[in-house]
Amino acid sequence: MTGRVLPDPPTLAREVANALIQRLAEAQAAGRVPSVALTGGTIATEIHRELAELGPGSAVQWHLVDFWWGDERFVPAGSADRNDAEVLRILADLGAASERLHPMPAVTVGCGSVHQAAARYGDELRRHGSQPGTAGEFEVVMLGVGPDGHVASLFPGHPALDAEAVAVGVTDSPKPPPQRITLTLPALNRARAVWFVASGTTKAEAVAAAHRPGPVTENPARGVSGRLETIWWMDADAASLR
């Protein structure tokens, strides 16, 4: 596990966006079509805005990247509550291929329950992973961290932490909105690299706890790591209690 500490949120966001661009370009140069799992959250929003600035003219072929989400709020498409609300437009502007954008299902008339929607997303990810030419794993999983140590929509003490399916529905998220879809620990752990992103003093205790050994159910961030790399990207405030 590696820690990268940047002085403040803007510097952190720029550094992570630059690193992601570099990682995607390297993966493409090595002949891979990388899959990235995006996250929601305060610092993630800033990272996405930096991608919008730095992405054009970079070495990344944006139409040859698959974008997935680690979790999503099960609300109507376009709702400001959705993790994909702003970044979908940013990715489209960068030239991402519409068939390589994989937003989690939104609430629509007749869409079924959040559990059915989660199962559909899991099927989509499994189908993609079994296609020839795909490694079936994420190049990078990005994860914001809640003040309670939640990652994606995997909350402390929640039964979803024990799920073995690829994605599950959550109906009782302690953080609103209550209905969410989340990738599970086994799915998030199918990653070459896991990058946690955390900023601000409200995250400091959760970040420190994630670095201590202990039960995953107390701090879900403890349960995720990359096969080749796990990086904690933090600003100085988030890193202050490590």
Ligand X SMILES: O=C1O[C@H](COP(=O)(O)O)[C@@H](O)[C@H](O)[C@H]1O
Which of 89, 175 has the CB closer to ligand X? 175
Shortest distance (Å) from residue 77 CB to ligand X: 16
Nearer to ligand X, 95 or 200 (CB): 200
Work out which of 46, 66, 71, 235 binds ligand X, going by CB under 6 A. Answer: 71
Provide the 10 A C-beta neighbour count for residue 110.
Answer: 4
Q: Is 220 in the site for ligand X (CB under 6 A)?
A: no
Return the number of the residue (58 or 240) whose C-beta is nearest ligand X.
Answer: 240
Q: Kindly write out the interface string for residues 119-158 of this chain, putting x where it contacts ligand X by CB under 6 A and - elsewhere.
A: -------------------------x-x-----xx-----
Return the residue of 175, 201, 215, 227 that touches ligand X, per CB under 6 A: 175
CA 33 to chain CA centroid, Å, is 18
Would you say 153 or 219 has its CB closer to ligand X? 153
Q: Which of 9, 20, 50, 83 binds ligand X (CB under 6 A)?
A: 83
| Shortest distance in whole angstroms from residue 32 CB to ligand X | 25
> In which residue are the tokens 């990272």 written?
47
Q: Which is nearer to ligand X, 87 or 96 (CB)?
A: 87
> Can the peptide bond before residue 132 be classed as cis, meaning omega within 30 degrees of 0?
no
Closest residue to bound ligand X by CB? 144
Shortest reach from residue 150's CB to ligand X, in Å: 6
Report 28-47 residues binding ligand X (CB under 6 A).
39-43
**Which residues lie near ligand X (CB under 6 A)?**
39-43, 71, 83, 144, 146, 152-153, 175
